[in-house]
Structure 1
């Protein structure tokens, strides 16, 4: 840079331009500029529209609740067999984690992990859903 400035001044002086600039003063300014340290640069963060934003508040997500145990629904009982969850099941057969022990006219007895449970015929009825259904 210093050479370029000196070269420019030399060319202008040879061309006959009347310059009232002292070449030695300009050269000394360039010398001082090279000796002074530059100010530290600031670390600017450049905006990147494709970078994923950091969350404003870091919160721990609550643990997901354990899935609710699904109890089979008994729709019908006939000839010692039961219609449970869309299929006919005989005593001794399994429905998921449950085993059918007996089929009675009022419901079925199933066993799971050594415990016997009575499932009533028809299961749970939701009257609001039945009322709101359109034919």
Structure 2
């Protein structure tokens, strides 16, 4: 039986271990929905109620990406990203926010966020952004 011509040119796709995502949001509903949404798409998700919760148990290399809410009790998303960078953590971060503040996207990019995703998030918007910012 002749060999299938496609098998001769097919290249194996790179295989990655599941991407580890840290979600920091003070809303239990948002944390749960993102855990389910991202988990269903193959991400390993850890959720945190706030900055102190994340920073209290964090080591460099723990996560491939950070999803940080803008409004957090005690330390907002901007300050949390700065704290991550001061600890030598260079993984990309995505800001999520339900606030309609003027120029928030520009401010987030200048602060070092890879992207801003507005709440309520459509199922595909955050997943698409994660796939865009995570290297192959």
TM-score w.r.t. length of structure 1 = 0.29
In terms of fraction of residues, the more helix-rich structure is: 2
Who wins on radius of gyration, i.e. which is larger?
A: 1
Structure with more contact order per residue of length (Cα contacts < 8 Å, sep ≥ 6) = 2
In terms of fraction of residues, the more strand-rich structure is: 1
TM-score w.r.t. length of structure 2 = 0.28
